[in-house]
Chains A and B, each alone.
Chain A
């Protein structure tokens, strides 16, 4: 057989197999979106846990596959019910986007628990099936391919039977189509939701186990990407559309597979995220629904829990800044100074998020992308062109502002949940471009030997000096932001956040002011990223990842959305707290996940109130 055809055949099979997995994930997300109007970000974690449970059963205890599948179903089903309980039901009266944020927090917690129990290292998951291959046409398929196909098909068949012939299935469909009408037929919508989450989690968990067997490995960070893939597949088929999610999964799998064949395996994820953004912009209702307008409800509303801000008198702010500046004179422990330096740099991230999400109301979950642009710009200008640090720093901020805004621009038509998803996607795209643009970024090897920060030609590397430098930068950023939000521009941003429709009716140009908000935010984030790059002297595509974005957001929420002092207080507390309790340092992200979930549930207005 012609070798091109052979590759084509193999890639199609690969694509369909992976697509089957995506379909299983996507169907779960579709069920949950249907009944709960929620994009469940913890779904990827459930999938990852499914992989681990399967691995424990098969590899550690040598249990037969059917038992392993049953164990996966039980464990994941229970987790699904718990997610519904804490991620959705207890937040019924909260801001619309709260459940989405809560599921992000839950995913942090689940991922961390798995890391703590099984270490962050990948675990080898040898395929227990016989390795015979079945010849088909000119190529062949393995037994595992068959198992995945059979599982995918039977899951679809079982789901079909449940949805069409059982009371639960009817309740699920009725609730998804019209929640209020379902109530009026006597459907207990809460119980239905619970079942939906359980069912979705079971499908997700089984997908995770199959993937573990397929790639012969499981690792904790497999969750995040999987969740986004499932979401993309779901979006291809139309959010909440179950048959659409099946088709979307297969389409995504095959397209990805061809893309990998043409461009190479490192492009796999870039593909997905470009499709994700493309779908959001051009076909937000999926391939099968030509309408360009995304469905308006329930996807409106930002995350602002109104509470008058705590007014901090000017003398107190100046005193606090003075104390912070004087601190290294008394405290010389380099470790603590480093911790505080990190707090100041994260403080800038929190500031940037509180500006765009708090003041202007545009949920950003992809702030890490802006940090990365700033970091790479500054590092490359220093390494390649030998520019002085002051200039590369500024260039990092400016390019982050310009490029970042251009990247987010297409998402300006979108609202709340969609903006959140789009910004995650854009953050990932930045990371994937860095990974793949070898000639510029040296890909996964990263940039090494970045010169340390300097001022007027003098290098700054003593912990104390770095501390002062970063603190000065933070204070400047805070001043910059304070001037902005106090101006008439700040008022326009807040109006935009409160009510886009009314703001437009009063002459506010949506694109212009969202662009200004994102540019200002990306500028500050870019500065922070640039400084960090020079401080560490090394960066790669994973230095700033999704966790950075979410941590920054948690800090901003803790401080109180839109509150400048709050953002700094939030960053400081979340950086220092794990250090105070030594035991917490290893479980840092578990702690952050818990803080996020608890904040959203019990104190969405944060410590200092919203502004």
Chain B
């Protein structure tokens, strides 16, 4: 095994117009890890996702994925390098059927036979989706849509999946299931990088975590350490310490 990380953000500064979102961001995700990026409102979490997916370009710094610099690349190119995405609010194609949504995940792949195999695997993994293959994505419940979004990302056979707030808006039962699912996927070899607001839950399954506050990484460490840290509560509930 190489010691080279699968994803690495080096000294990244990002801006939205005149507003700086990231300040000297440094993040590393190793092969096989689950890493979560935590942070409160407007901390710059979602922009980090967009940065990795090529939807936002950094003004300074570098982003490497699997040894390739991806900071200037178009999103479809990055996807073809083995990046998968479970976007914030799921972004299911609401007028396409469940089946079509799943297969859209494999849009960039040409290995038809393997795609079919993966499709069968997804149906086994998500029995509930199997019952609803012909229904439009838009009519699924929030939890089902989240499953579909994860399945759709897996259909691309990614090395790594970026998940933006995968538990947002889900009922507690579904939150548990999604977290279990993420662990399962990870154990089968897919690296996970997730952004979460729900820190306590995310840290239960993550190996490591970063805490982002106002565009700065203010804390990083093993999940267990972070879970017990009083500092994380401060980071969320107010920041500059009173």
Contact = CB atoms under 8 A, between A and B. Distances in A.
A188 to B, nearest CB: 5
Interface in B94-139: 94-96, 100, 103-105, 107-108
B48 to A, nearest CB: 15
In this complex, the member of B53, B75, B92, B96 whose beta carbon has the largest number of chain A beta carbons within 10 angstroms is B75
A186 B108 contact: yes
Contact of B93 (A167, A181, A186, A189): A181
Interface stretch (B79-87, B173-181, B214-222): B79-87
A185 B87 contact: no
B55 interface: yes
B76 to A, nearest CB: 5
Contacts of B87: 180-181, 184
B76 A186 contact: yes
B76 A170 contact: no
- A interface SS class: helix
Interface residues of B, number: 23
B91 interface: yes
A185 B55 contact: no
A601 interface: no
A167 B109 CA distance: 11
A167 to B, nearest CB: 7
A67 interface: no
B75 A170 contact: no
B100 A185 contact: no
Given A170-B100, A180-B55, A180-B87, A185 B105 contact: yes
A182 B53 CA distance: 12
A177 B53 contact: no
A268 B91 CA distance: 43
Interface in B44-98: 53, 55, 74-76, 79-80, 85, 87, 91-96
Nearest to B137: A177
Contacts of A171: 107
Interface in A179-203: 180-189
Interface string A55-98: 00000000000000000000000000000000000000000000
B75 A183 contact: yes
A167 B107 contact: yes
Contacts of A183: 53, 55, 74-76, 79
B152 A173 contact: no
Interface string B28-55: 0000000000000000000000000101
A345 interface: no
Nearest to A167: B107
A181 B91 CA distance: 6
A185 B115 CA distance: 14
A189 B55 CA distance: 13
B93 to A, nearest CB: 5
A174 interface: yes
Contacts of B143: none
B156 interface: yes
In this complex, the member of B85, B91, B93, B105 whose beta carbon has the largest number of chain A beta carbons within 10 angstroms is B93
Given A185-B107, A185-B152, A177 B93 contact: yes
Contacts of A180: 55, 87, 91
Interface residues of A, number: 17
Contacts of B74: 183
A186 B107 contact: yes
Given A180-B87, A184-B87, A186-B76, A170 B104 contact: yes
Given A170-B100, A170-B107, A185 B79 contact: yes
Nearest to A178: B91
A184 B75 CA distance: 6
Interface string A107-144: 00000000000000000000000000000000000000
A510 B96 CA distance: 39
A178 B75 CA distance: 14
Nearest to B94: A177
A178 B93 contact: yes
A187 B80 CA distance: 10
Contacts of B156: 185-186
Contacts of B55: 180, 183-184
Nearest to A177: B93
In this complex, the member of B96, B103, B156 whose beta carbon has the largest number of chain A beta carbons within 10 angstroms is B96
Contacts of B107: 167, 170-171, 174, 185-187
A93 to B, nearest CB: 13
Nearest to B152: A185
Contacts of A174: 93, 96, 104, 107
Nearest to A241: B95
Contacts of A184: 53, 55, 75, 79, 85, 87, 91
A191 to B, nearest CB: 9
A177 B104 CA distance: 13
A185 B108 CA distance: 7
Contacts of A173: 93, 95-96
B171 to A, nearest CB: 23
A132 B95 CA distance: 44
Contacts of B53: 183-184
Nearest to A186: B108
Nearest to A189: B76
Nearest to A190: B74
Interface string A550-592: 0000000000000000000000000000000000000000000
B124 to A, nearest CB: 22
Interface in A143-178: 167, 170-171, 173-174, 177-178
Contact of A177 (B75, B79, B95): B95
B116 to A, nearest CB: 15
A610 B179 CA distance: 54
Contacts of A188: 76
B137 to A, nearest CB: 9
Counting from the closest, the 8 A-B pairs by CB-CB distance are A186-B108, A186-B79, A181-B91, A183-B75, A184-B85, A186-B76, A185-B107, A177-B93
Given A170-B103, A181-B93, A189-B76, 7 more contacts: A174-B104, A181-B87, A183-B53, A184-B53, A184-B87, A186-B107, A187-B76
23 contacts: A167-B107, A173-B95, A174-B93, A174-B107, A177-B93, A177-B94, A178-B91, A178-B93, A181-B87, A181-B91, A181-B93, A183-B55, A183-B76, A184-B53, A184-B55, A184-B85, A184-B87, A185-B79, A186-B76, A186-B80, A186-B108, A186-B156, A187-B76
